[in-house]
Amino acid sequence: MAYNYSAYPALLFSLISCLFFARYLNDSFRIRLLMIAGGFVGATACFRHDIGFYLFVTQIVILLWSISSASRSGEITSGTPFASYRPVIFYIAGVVVIVLPVALLLLWSVPVSDIFFDLFYLPAKVYPEMRRLPFRTFALPRLILHPLSWRNRFELQEAIVFFPILACIASGLILLLSRKSQAGLFRHERQRRIFALLTLLGLLFFLKGLIRVSAMQMIPCIVVGILLLAVLLSRMPSLDRLSTIVVGVVTFIFVACSAPIVLGLIWFTRANVLNLIHPTSPISFVKACHPPEGLERARCLIIDPTSEAAIQYVEQRTSPQDKIFVGNGRHDKILTNDIRFYFISGRGGHHQMARL
């Protein structure tokens, strides 16, 4: 599930959108960049509508701030009533160009009640009650007493969920302090707005992970937190003493929580390489890419023995024209299904059974 997690492409499109948005902030005459940024917001929403919504809110806030500052400084002098908000129109147009066709196709293919249930009711009502995880604050004393214990490796790497909110808080405080100081942290106002864009985006992404508090669920805000930390580290010579200490603490937390992940990645890579090249391994390249009869569509996919047996059982008792349903007994507790089963078995799913 982790490899096809929908938050990954949504995060990628979010960052690309912010890149074009930042280029517009650097040169407000290139207004077409806003349409491109809005298009990537729409693409983000197609993968994760919640992440797309947070991104849209963030960029609209920064865009309105930019327009308001330009109006006060006299950069916008046109007497046309809508001239000031021409950038907003371009931006929203980019979002609509991508989102509207997808939304219309969805409304054409799926009942409105199902769309509301899956996209709004389930995440708002069912998901928080059944999938909530607490912050692992109880593990912190043990980590402090035995920071190098291998048994605490998982708790230490999961403690990275504290990093993004600390990075965002530190960034927000430094934004406020730099506004009053003459330290030259941001040489241009547009740099401040880009930094504020990342800070606000990180805060909203953090809200997304509050229900399911885990490193994987908080990847969007962790990545944004890393970007903020990189900016702050590059500005260290311009920071005052208090800000330098704050950035140092955030950096230490990030490095400490990332160390077990790096060590685990080295071990994971070594184990996988050995398994791939060892001829007797059940997940070796030779065996995985030469599946037994009936599992040809699983070529070069790693399938556990129980799933193989289940797929072969279904193939023996059904025809390719038959519809099957793969699911759990309690969808109000476990929301995910093994959708590979449909592809490998060559059997289509029955959409009317999706609520069972």
Residue 164 maps to a domain: yes
Positions in the chain whose pLDDT score sits under 50:
1, 182, 351-356
Residues 109 and 139 in one domain: no
Give CA–CA dist 13/220, Å, rounded.
11
Parallel, antiparallel or unpaired: strands 348-349 and 323-324: parallel
Confidence (pTM): 0.75
- Hey, CA dihedral for 261, 265, 271, 276, is it positive or negative? positive
Residue where one domain finishes, among candidates 116, 131, 146: 131
Q: Number of structural domains, the chain?
A: 3
Residue 279 maps to a domain: no
* Residue 74 Rama label (left phi>0; alpha psi -120 to 50; beta): left
Residues 110 and 213 in one domain: no
pLDDT at position 91, please? 92
DSSP 121: I
Which residue in 72, 67, 99 sits closest to 83, CA to CA? 67
* Residue 302 Rama label (left phi>0; alpha psi -120 to 50; beta): beta
The angle formed by the CA atoms of residues 120, 122 and 123, to the nearest 5 degrees, is 70
pLDDT at position 22, please? 93
223-273 per-position pLDDT tens digit: 999 999 999 998 888 888 888 888 998 998 888 888 777 776 777 677 777
For residues 91 and 34, is the Cβ–Cβ distance under 8 A? yes
Residues 101 and 147 in one domain: no
Residue where one domain finishes, among candidates 241, 260, 279: 260
| Residue 214, domain extent | 133-260
pLDDT at position 79, please? 54
